Amino acid sequence: MTIYGATSADAPKFDQAAHDYDAVLIMSFGGPDGPDDVVPFLENVTRGRGIPRERLAEVGEHYYQFGGVSPINEQNLALIAALEAELKEHGPDLPIYYGNRNWHPYIEDTLRQMRDDGVKRAITFVTSAISSYSGCRQYREDLIEASEAVEGAPVLDKLRTFYNHPGFIEPVIEHTQEALEQFAPDVRDSVRLVFTAHSVPLGMAKNSDYEAQLHEASRLVAQGVGRDSYSLVYQSRSGPPQMPWLEPDICDYLREIKASEGIENVVMVPIGFISDHMEVLFDLDTEAMAVAEEIGMKLVRVATVGTHPKFISMIRELILERMTENPVRRALGNCGPNHDICPLDCCLKGSRPKVHAEANS
Ligand SMILES: CC1=C(CCC(=O)O)c2cc3nc(cc4[nH]c(cc5[nH]c(cc1n2)c(C)c5CCC(=O)O)c(CCC(=O)O)c4C)C(CCC(=O)O)=C3C
Ligand SMILES: [Fe+2]
């Protein structure tokens, strides 16, 4: 089984060429569909990751507070419905399949279905805008593992990371502008613009362009709303307390800017996420909002891109890019379009690289 886009070593040069595809695969994180799913879901997410038991119990409570249901599955289905309509109207008319890393429909079951339907080669969209082990390599490893388990699984290509694509940045600019307009014109210029993303261990951050991509995306959005400065902070920290993760935490940061600078108005942009899933609903809308209320701060959270038409048409554009010889590869800002095919050492985990994942034939 071969997965192009998995590593550069296994992808012959000709594979940079345009391809015909017979399906699109949407790959995501997955989340529980009800209270009974919460514990097995969390076990799937954290298997072998050394996440403390107390942290798991705490995160379980976040889900129970929302009836044990993560909105992420419904949001992915909405994304798929929107993309289906887009492809029907503008082509290419490809069937869309959906598989997750941590919950039903599991990626392995999806690949089996694709094989049974006669799919030979599919183009994969991963629901993560920013490169890191969690948002890039781990998905590729999971695809490899699932492909190895399914005899005759289709060849899979993976779309490039889109953190600086106008189809991602422009909707975030629009949503950020809408949030700023919730403040009176006379205070609007003094509203602090704060970008937030999932924290990751420092070792993981160091092995990828995670921080660089987050800064570039944040800078582009800030510039789009007429700002020449912004702050970037982190949320949803996990792991053992002695392990260093990216900081500052959003909640600590809000307290800090209120206490030391007297900041009373803040717009927070979840730049590291593409839908309003649990890390947004709990860590931002519940936890950070409670801090803001406690310290007397007006805090407005910017909507994620979700099914914004520009975002949906970006996915189509990225698919066409891979089906076209010498395509235009749009990207805003200073960094250029990200690679289609990941280098061998792309987004290693940090502490214990999973070297066996390279062998995928
Ligand atoms: C970079 C990144 C993204 C963005 C890229 C992407 O979108 O893929 C992301 C997304 C998400 N993370 C999510 C949920 C969780 N992440 C956890 C744990 C972890 N995330 C990490 C990183 C990231 N995570 C890391 C380094 C860990 C530690 C364990 C490990 O090394 O892997 C845990 C375990 C409990 C805990 O430790 O907090 C949960 C429940 C959900 C679903 C939300 C829903 O259900 O609606 C989504 C979209
Ligand atoms: Fe996560």
Angle, helices 309-323 vs 72-90, to 10°: value is 60
Distance CA 97, CA 114 (A): 8
Q: Which two tokens stand for residue 96?
A: 């869309």
Q: Check pocket membership of 277 for ligand 1, CB cut-off 6 A.
A: yes
Give yes or no for a contact between 33 and 73, defined as CB atoms under 8 angstroms apart: yes
Share of the chain above pLDDT 90, in %: 88
Q: What pLDDT is stored for residue 351 in this prediction?
A: 62
Mean pLDDT lowest among 5-9, 87-91, 113-117, 212-216: 5-9
* Residue from 26, 28, 39, 45 to probe ligand 1 pocket by mutation (most atoms less than 8 Å from CB): 45
Give the SS3 label for residue 113: helix
Q: What is the pLDDT of residues 59-81, one digit of tens each?
A: 999 999 999 999 999 999 999 99
Q: What pLDDT is stored for residue 16 in this prediction?
A: 61
Give the SS3 label for residue 253: helix
Please choose, from the candidates 136, 129, 69, 127, the residue with its C-alpha nearest in 3D space to the C-alpha of residue 100.
127
Q: Check pocket membership of 73 for ligand 1, CB cut-off 6 A.
A: no
Task: Return the residue matching tokens 């996420």.
Answer: 273
Distance CA 54, CA 66 (A): 19
User: Stretch 122-143: mean pLDDT, rounded?
Assistant: 97
**Above 70 in pLDDT, residue 11?**
no
Q: Check pocket membership of 352 for ligand 1, CB cut-off 6 A.
A: no
Q: Check pocket membership of 342 for ligand 1, CB cut-off 6 A.
A: no
CA-nearest residue for atom 45, ligand 1, is 31
Query: Please, what is the Cα angle at 245 between 169 and 263, to 5 degrees?
Result: 60
Give the SS3 label for residue 102: coil
Task: Return the residue matching tokens 């106008």.
Answer: 166
Is 43 annotated to bind ligand?
Answer: no
Q: What is the pLDDT of residues 235-267, one digit of tens each?
A: 999 988 899 999 999 999 999 999 999 999 999
pTM of the model as a whole: 0.93
Pairing of strands 155-158, 265-269: unpaired
Cis peptide before 309 (omega within 30 of 0): no
The ligand 1 atom nearest the CA atom of 274: 7
Distance CA 221, CA 218 (A): 5
Domains of the chain by start residue, with CATH: 13-31+70-161+308-358 (3.40.50.1400), 166-301 (3.40.50.1400)
Task: Return the residue matching tokens 């010498």.
Answer: 326
Average pLDDT of the chain to the nearest whole number: 93
Q: Check pocket membership of 129 for ligand 1, CB cut-off 6 A.
A: no
* Residue from 33, 43, 46 to probe ligand 1 pocket by mutation (most atoms less than 8 Å from CB): 46
